[in-house]
Amino acid sequence: MNYPDYVKDKKDEIIFKFLSNVADHYDKNTFWRKSQHALYKRKFANIPDSFLIKSLLDYLTHQMTGHTKFVPTVANVSEYVQGQTGFMKHWLSVPLDKEYCRHCRTDEIGKSGGWRTIFFYGMRGDTKRMGELIVSAKCDCELGEKLTGAGYETVMMQLLNSDPNAEVAVDRYDQQLGRKIQARHLTNYHWDQILARGYVRYGIAEAGEDTDRLYPIWESPFWITPEGEVAAGLYGWTIPEHIAQQIPHQNLTAQHKHGMLRRIRKDIQNDGYTGSVPQHISGNIARDMGDFF
Ligand SMILES: [Zn+2]
């Protein structure tokens, strides 16, 4: 096939062939073809070639019947392509060769995301009292930067300016753990709260324990409650037999059990307990902020 000079790559060829068919069908000239080409290129640049070929062939076969009077617009064709099985919404917004970074992506393949969550604990400007605050701000990765709004570093600085003694942290992906760590879990405030509940403690070096890990305090009355039993299971700890015997089981209805399980799961998810406290929190936040500048 002989292509005009504006057909430069595979995508151009696919679009050119399609438009040639449409032009023949509706008796359109080469000027129309060229002007349409630019529109189609912009619209379909991000759609994988194989999917585009299949969809456009489908269109020519099923939509371009003899009795259709109106020349399809790029919007008509695009709508048809988007309606095809297997169409991915992110093709409309995220370039094929780009993805959101590990820290901000909200799906497996990095085609959605862009926002970071910031946790603040300090003197709140609105209430003039100590309190928590959770805000979102855009990520500093290439795709995140394209979103509108303030960057997370700027927002963190503003929060720290509002109360220099506040704890401020941003969520991030931990390579070692292989998962995202919530911003809250990167503050001393959060872990102090967990410790204050009195049923866990840090390891003791003298006892040969890992000082970065949390250990159960079996003496806590928490462990002889049904909630404690469920929590131990979720934390991955086995309650010693003499304590387990004291847990009342008899008068829980199935519904109560279910509700309780759900509540505790949620609590533990919120705690984000992973068996070890991120190293990060042992430093002070001001130093951690230093990474950003
Ligand atoms: Zn990012």
Q: How high does pLDDT run on average in the chain?
A: 85
33, pLDDT greater than 50: yes
- Maximum average pLDDT range among 88-92, 139-143, 187-191, 282-286: 139-143
Give me the pLDDT at residue 11, please: 95
Give me the pLDDT at residue 116, please: 97
CA–centroid distance, residue 159 to ligand 1 (Å) = 20
293, pLDDT greater than 60: no
Strand partners, 132: 121
CA–centroid distance, residue 47 to ligand 1 (Å) = 22
Q: In the structure, what pLDDT confidence band is assigned to residue 218 with cuts at 50, 70 and 90? A: very high
CA–centroid distance, residue 189 to ligand 1 (Å) = 26
CA–centroid distance, residue 289 to ligand 1 (Å) = 17
CA–centroid distance, residue 168 to ligand 1 (Å) = 19
Q: In the structure, what pLDDT confidence band is assigned to residue 101 with cuts at 50, 70 and 90? A: very high
CA–centroid distance, residue 172 to ligand 1 (Å) = 9
Give me the pLDDT at residue 276, please: 44
Provide the residue type at 103 as one letter. H
CA–centroid distance, residue 170 to ligand 1 (Å) = 12
The Cα 86–Cα 58 span in angstroms is 14
Give me the pLDDT at residue 180, please: 86
List, for residues 112-136, the tens digit of each pLDDT value.
Answer: 999 999 999 999 888 889 999 999 9
Cβ pair 169, 184 in contact under 8 A = yes
CA–centroid distance, residue 82 to ligand 1 (Å) = 27
Residues less than 5 Å from ion ligand 1, measured at CB: 100-101, 104, 139, 141, 144
CA–centroid distance, residue 101 to ligand 1 (Å) = 4
The Cα 148–Cα 138 span in angstroms is 8
Structural domain boundaries of the chain?
10-92, 115-188+284-292, 214-275
CA–centroid distance, residue 190 to ligand 1 (Å) = 24
249, pLDDT greater than 80: no
More confident residue, 6 or 225: 6
Q: In the structure, what pLDDT confidence band is assigned to residue 278 with cuts at 50, 70 and 90? A: very low
Give me the pLDDT at residue 286, please: 33
More confident residue, 164 or 264: 164
* Exposure string for 251-282, b = 16+ CB within 10 A, e = fewer: eeeeeeeeebeeebeeeeeebbbeeebbeebe
CA–centroid distance, residue 231 to ligand 1 (Å) = 33
- Maximum average pLDDT range among 60-74, 150-164, 177-191, 211-225: 150-164
Q: What is the mean pLDDT of residues 216-230?
A: 87
Burial of 133 (0-12, 13-18, 19+ CB in 10 A): middle
List, for residues 40-74, the tens digit of each pLDDT value.
Answer: 999 999 999 999 999 999 999 988 876 667 899 99
Q: In the structure, what pLDDT confidence band is assigned to residue 255 with cuts at 50, 70 and 90? A: low
CA–centroid distance, residue 182 to ligand 1 (Å) = 15
Cβ pair 112, 105 in contact under 8 A = yes
CA–centroid distance, residue 247 to ligand 1 (Å) = 46
Give me the pLDDT at residue 280, please: 37
231, pLDDT greater than 60: yes
185, pLDDT greater than 90: no
Cβ pair 40, 56 in contact under 8 A = no
Helix axis angle for 49-62 and 74-82, nearest 10°, is: 110
CA–centroid distance, residue 125 to ligand 1 (Å) = 28
Q: What percent of the chain has pLDDT over 90?
A: 53
More confident residue, 120 or 175: 120
CA–centroid distance, residue 142 to ligand 1 (Å) = 7
CA–centroid distance, residue 160 to ligand 1 (Å) = 22
Strand partners, 19: none
Q: In the structure, what pLDDT confidence band is assigned to residue 277 with cuts at 50, 70 and 90? A: very low
CA–centroid distance, residue 69 to ligand 1 (Å) = 47
CA–centroid distance, residue 151 to ligand 1 (Å) = 11
CA–centroid distance, residue 181 to ligand 1 (Å) = 14
Give this prediction's pTM: 0.62
Give me the pLDDT at residue 234, please: 64
More confident residue, 264 or 248: 248
CA–centroid distance, residue 183 to ligand 1 (Å) = 15
